[in-house]
Structure 1
């Protein structure tokens, strides 16, 4: 702290308090007067500046308001223009041909040749491009409405070359359909080609040999202009029907017999295209056949399917259970070369010793000297007659037969002279094919003279083999039949006139014959495992196409071990019929035979009951083996499931179809389900994850009755 002396010395200049205050007051007044004057000047200047700024702000605000007002006006004008445009488009849309082709579900834009299909909410669910390119494009590309309106036609156009497009609609209950007919087509070089966008929705009905096809997997499929016909080299296998279904509740189908070309997702186009196969139409044809098909739209996938199936495909016949062999087993003898040296009698004796001798046995080896003889080899006849008539009289015999006659057959020359074979449409000579590297002719099954050749006393059925040949579409026959399909149909009819059981390996519109449709299990590698990947999709597709009586078989060229055999048998006992390969009893252990017995016992005690129960559904267009969406068409989780199936409407089967697999996920639709493995009840509409499935078991569920 400073000393007082230093403080005094420091403060010597300080004036007395009164004088200091007086001086400060005077100075303050002087300053205040000056400040006041200066402040007034500044305030006036500030007021002026504020006034100027206000005018500038006002001007800016005025300009901003003008801009905003102009912007509002522009937006309003644009909105009005857009609204008016939308209204005009809507009015034009509503006033276009949509109102002229029957109902609000179909709309044809004739200027673009575009067909729209709508659902009940007026949403476009399918768009098609109905394309026709005349030979003389510059002269004939313009088309007009037909001058005379057909009474059956709601909409009609014609081109200068006389080609016509007709559209007309009709309703079946709550399913709405439109027929598309191309008529008076000018020639094979200018055929219509109709393409539909299938990018959205899932599609069923394509029986392809590889890949996922229940539903169709667009990522793995690329087909361009493939003849939709079962023939050598074709990617399509089995039953080929002009019938396709979408999860958008749409069916595209055709009842015509003429050949079609099909393209699916060609070059990743996401389109499904169909057209007449003009290359197969005989050159001498003076009039091109019609190209016609139908599109139907319904309230749900099941209603659309059943209604369209009854409309577009032949009706399946109910086989009375007590008069058929539907529950019988078929044993396949000689299905592999390893069994060729075993005598037929020894095979039957082996079955008898294993207590498995029942049903029918199919003789897979060649029983004729040459295809088309329709006579047993002499030594074979003696062996078969002794085995079946004497030792094992309760066993029936099934023979594989062909619709062709080999050039080496004893019947070939006679057939040639008597015109027992179909004729070529161009040369009027006998139509010859290459079958297994040998030339063969096609039996004219429309000719009654050959019917007696087919009958064989002592056999109880036939298996019609799929020929590995390129059959012609158009032929000449004794009754002026030009369709090769009618030759096949009549061949089946002749066989059925002699026996109760006929199975077929491939088919087209044969649903109204009492036939069993063979579905072979083919081993494929999936995720580095050997699996029957296409087995169930093939069976579901065949049933979907109207063949309710599915017979499970193993493809003759398959090498399967004991585990795959067990997995195949587990699922096959749930089929309406099954043909067991001869090596099913060849595995050298008693456990394998015991397993076979247990599976056949399961079939006898449980499966047969559900087959009987479901037979009446065949009359309503439903298959015996069904996809899960046929149980609940509103459950979208079921649309992609291709490894589970229903037998009837209350037995759900979830097999394991891969080698080494011991668990799987199972989806249960709505309802209460009782399991086969623990007999507990499970609530539906959910997944059961990672369910253990030992090699000795197959998982199935029965639906609990609401009354129980």
Structure 2
């Protein structure tokens, strides 16, 4: 027989359990709603849309136990639900509603220095978006990423997680699109501190500016009845970002250009540039966009004047290039001025360099200078001066356009203060303003950083790729990088140099070089540097590259058609395989195929030594142009032959 004390204990336990269970709160309608369960300090929630669970997670993981249990204290009209932890923090929830069908989660704290929400990586659900990384995968839920600030950086430097492109936007195959408000001091993690979860953290610490209150605010958009996650994505992209109103340079889309960088590195001069151009024509590469003069042409870094010792007769060089049929030339530039340049003092006296919170100009470093000034692109006068110098360079030399390097937060001095703009948008604000400022030079330019710059008709370059095969910044990372850029709204992608940069002892083998060129054929633009006819006594590499160039040119109209569609409706030029059929799960994890527009399916080989590969054809009828065979999808073509000089691709009928 149970004792009176034991019966009392059981009764109390059941009472406490019923009180805990009663903390469930439903916010929203049956079509789209939060189902929230609170424990002592945090909330577990389920987000449902059209009767399905589309997202699960936890809110308030960083709230300390001393803050106590949240109480619901919502003023009328403020939001659908509000929870307060005394004076420590407030949580505001708004259910999915409106044309965009988006919910809003907002944390606000005057005292807390850390706010954290995490989302479950549900089985069978795949995620895309976020930022460029050195090890690029598609989709991204399998990655393990330590908590890091979500800022544009140079991942070639130590302890830098992200590359130059990132935006606070993610989309999942369950139909959830998440956008974090840009003034949140955001850190992210995947599969590390919280296994099988990805997390948003707002923290009042570097590289963000100090602030009186910490806020973490984000929207969660869900599908309406009958919508696919592709529909949610296109709707969300237009809600949070602005589409371009025109396409960039058409010649650069269709034809290759040739850079001096990987072939000659910084050892360039007039003789080598002309020699490279002559060899191009002699070897049969006569249809080109332009030649690009890369690193170390200036008198000193940032002076924006040609070194006359290396380039003694610029008019003569430009004339020779023109006689060869190369009428466009670009040069590599950057936002720095080294201390030893005469222009450094001019810019310093005019206060054109980035300032710190004490309103003092600062010195920074970069890979070509340890004591350098960084132009403040939030200062309109500094922008006008910077652009005027490059315009003068164009007028004086006949240079057509520019490659704009750097621009990421990696190169910012600590504790910066913008001349104009919301300090809470730092440091990514500096990247945004840099790209906005240089976009004035038109549709031939390229940058390697971008944040909220989707509206610009310019080319965005992948960060330097290494001459290796793997996902670790090698050939296998090319298509995942392309698809990431595309899904974030940057359609006009410039892949890095074919064959990689040949840094150190790395050099692309003939097989790697050919496969790299094939991967690039149906991408929005392409660039060569390591010369295709060198280091190949068989001539196979040269022949394969010429075939690739001819193939691309033969589909010029498809490239321009896809580019114009970006302007019309936001569809990227290159699309993931699920774009064809977003309800086909087979397409969700394919990371080595992609579409050009609606009709061309590219399936290049990215594995060393492979002479065949599996190819997935989604629904539809697909023509194999090499022999006019047609196939009906969906189906896998297993072990499809792919010799080194062959690029598998199909055209939808």
- TM-score, scaled to structure 1: 0.78
Residue 666 of structure 1 deviates from its aligned partner by 0.6
1:131-530 correspondence to structure 2 within 5 Å: 131=60, 133=62, 138=66, 140-146=67-73, 148-151=75-78, 153-161=79-87, 163-171=89-97, 173=99, 176-183=101-108, 185-187=109-111, 190-200=113-123, 201-207=125-131, 209=133, 211=135, 213-216=137-140, 218=142, 221-231=144-154, 232=157, 233-267=159-193, 269-280=195-206, 285=210, 287-288=212-213, 290-298=215-223, 299-319=227-247, 325-337=252-264, 340=267, 343-357=272-286, 358-392=288-322, 394-425=326-357, 427-436=358-367, 438-445=370-377, 446-449=379-382, 450=385, 451-455=387-391, 456-457=393-394, 458-466=398-406, 469-471=410-412, 475-479=416-420, 482=423, 483-519=426-462, 520-524=464-468
Task: Give the whole-Å Cα distance in 2 for the aligned partners of 1:243 and 1:697.
Answer: 37
Residue 289 of structure 1 deviates from its aligned partner by 5.0
* Residues 647/375 of structure 1: CA separation in 2 closer, same or farther (3 Å cut): same
Q: 2:622 aligns with which of 670, 673, 680?
A: 673
Q: Secondary structure at the match of 1:241?
A: strand
Contact between 1:489 and 1:510, CA under 8 Å: does it hold in 2? yes
Q: Secondary structure at the match of 1:346?
A: helix
* Residues 611/424 of structure 1: CA separation in 2 closer, same or farther (3 Å cut): same
Cα deviation, 1:535-586, whole Å, max 9, x if unaligned, reads 1111111111111011122232251022211111122121111111142243
Contact between 1:670 and 1:683, CA under 8 Å: does it hold in 2? yes
Tell which structure's C-alpha radius of gyration is larger.
1
Cα deviation, 1:398-449, whole Å, max 9, x if unaligned, reads 2222122222222222222221111112x32223322125122220122324
1:82-121 correspondence to structure 2 within 5 Å: 96-99=24-27, 104-110=32-38, 112-121=42-51
Contact between 1:280 and 1:472, CA under 8 Å: does it hold in 2? no
Q: What corresponds to 2:10 in structure 1?
A: none
Q: What corresponds to 2:602 in structure 1?
A: 653
- Structure number with higher strand proportion: 2
* Residues 644/503 of structure 1: CA separation in 2 closer, same or farther (3 Å cut): same
Residue 273 of structure 1 deviates from its aligned partner by 0.8
Residue 141 of structure 1 deviates from its aligned partner by 3.1
Task: Give the whole-Å Cα distance in 2 for the aligned partners of 1:262 and 1:402.
Answer: 29
Q: What corresponds to 2:611 in structure 1?
A: 662
Q: 2:511 aligns with which of 563, 585, 609?
A: 563
CA RMSD, aligned part only? 3.1
1:679-698 correspondence to structure 2 within 5 Å: 679-698=628-647
Q: What corresponds to 1:78 in structure 2?
A: none
* Residues 699/275 of structure 1: CA separation in 2 closer, same or farther (3 Å cut): same
* Residues 472/224 of structure 1: CA separation in 2 closer, same or farther (3 Å cut): same
* Residues 594/544 of structure 1: CA separation in 2 closer, same or farther (3 Å cut): same
- TM-score, scaled to structure 2: 0.84
Gaps of 5+ in 1: 1-84
Gaps of 5+ in 2: 1-14
Task: Give the whole-Å Cα distance in 2 for the aligned partners of 1:486 and 1:194.
Answer: 24
Task: Give the whole-Å Cα distance in 1 for the aligned partners of 2:610 and 2:597.
Answer: 27
* Residues 454/477 of structure 1: CA separation in 2 closer, same or farther (3 Å cut): farther
- Structure number with higher helix proportion: 1
Q: Secondary structure at the match of 2:606?
A: coil
Moved more, 373-382 or 618-627: 373-382
Q: Secondary structure at the match of 1:672?
A: strand
